[in-house]
Amino acid sequence: MDQVFIEDLRIQTIIGVFDWEREITQTISIDLRMAFSISKAAASDAIADTLDYKSVSKRLIQFVESSEYQLVEALAEHCARIVLDEFPVNWLRLKLSKPGAVRGSSAVGVIIERGNAHS
């Protein structure tokens, strides 16, 4: 299975359950692996035949910046759904990290895998 990936996409958003977290923006990081056959694009060398990772990134940035979730779990699930619904992806693995959320760790977060029912 071919995969197109985006690593460490850093986005500012309101996220968290504490009162102080609702008043500031924090950085989240997204790593995304998307199942997509690159065969046609490899043969044609045309962007029209591939999964445009810039478009995926821009869509996620737009969504996350305007969101105000409390939990990384909810934000990750909605990001996955956007990619599966709006782009030609049948399966994805999404890691959503919240850097600096726990003292002593570089980041905490969730990793989810999702697929479309028709895949």
Known active-site residue 98: yes
Select which of 40, 54, 95, 98 is catalytic: 98
Structure-block tokens of residue 21: 């977290």
Nearest to 89 by CA among 2, 31, 29: 2
- Report the C-alpha gap between 12 and 61 in whole angstroms: 9
- Report the C-alpha gap between 52 and 16 in whole angstroms: 31
- Report the C-alpha gap between 73 and 95 in whole angstroms: 10
> For residue 51, what is the DSSP state?
-
Catalytic residues: 98
